């Protein structure tokens, strides 16, 4: 297989991608990526902090819920794709990972419910959900998605692309607006 690295470079540059990662998302990788993101945030430090918080949540979703796994240090870790980009008005954090088709309805309902909620409702949802004990029976209860929506003050865009009868690919896109400088 021939890979056109120069074309790839031009695409990355044209899309103003600040960071991209594809692979098993471990805690160690997350720390390194966080340091790179924070280095970039001198002009918009508040927005970078919010963006990094969203990035961490999206990373943890991949680590914990991706249907594609790798074994690293005897631990099963989710595999996915993370992209951090910006334009003049906003930062964008994208994540993608494989999910089991049997979970599509549940995931869609959670995101749609969150997207239909106003900031006060999201705050109440977060308080209520954070009091629910975490166990295997509530894994994936949506606390991270609620947190993401609260940090971004915008809807969580998502797309689900079917791969086969068992697996699909979930894409999440979160936008963090930059505050206008005075």
C-alpha span between 167 and 182 (Å, rounded): 48
pLDDT at 27: 81
pLDDT in tens, the chain (182 residues): 889 999 989 988 899 888 888 999 888 888 887 777 777 666 667 888 898 889 989 999 999 899 999 998 888 999 999 999 999 899 999 999 999 999 999 999 999 999 999 999 999 999 988 887 765 444 555 899 999 999 998 899 999 999 999 999 999 999 999 886 65
pLDDT at 119: 92
Report all structural domains of the chain as residue ranges with CATH numbers, in order of start. 5-177 (3.30.565.10)
pLDDT at 138: 41
CA dihedral angle for residue 65, residue 85, residue 4, residue 80, rounded to 10 degrees? 0
Record the pTM.
0.86
């Amino acid at each position: 297989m021939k890979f056109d690295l120069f074309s790839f470079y031009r695409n990355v540059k044209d899309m103003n991608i600040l960071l991209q990662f594809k692979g098993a998302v471990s805690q160690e990788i997350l720390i390194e990526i966080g340091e790179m993101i924070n280095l970039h945030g001198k002009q918009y430090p508040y927005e970078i902090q919010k963006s990094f918080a969203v990035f961490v949540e999206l990373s943890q979703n991949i680590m914990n819920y991706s249907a594609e796994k790798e074994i690293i240090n005897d631990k099963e870790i989710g595999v996915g794709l993370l992209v951090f980009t910006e334009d003049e008005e906003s930062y964008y954090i994208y994540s993608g990972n494989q999910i089991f088709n049997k979970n599509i309805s549940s995931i869609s309902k959670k995101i749609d419910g969150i997207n239909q909620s106003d900031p006060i409702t999201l705050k109440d949802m977060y308080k209520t959900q954070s009091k629910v004990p975490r166990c295997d029976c509530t894994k994936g209860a949506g606390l991270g998605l609620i947190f993401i929506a609260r940090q971004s003050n915008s809807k969580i865009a998502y797309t689900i692309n079917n791969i086969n009868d068992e697996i699909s690919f979930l894409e999440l896109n979160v936008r963090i607006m930059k505050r206008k400088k005075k």
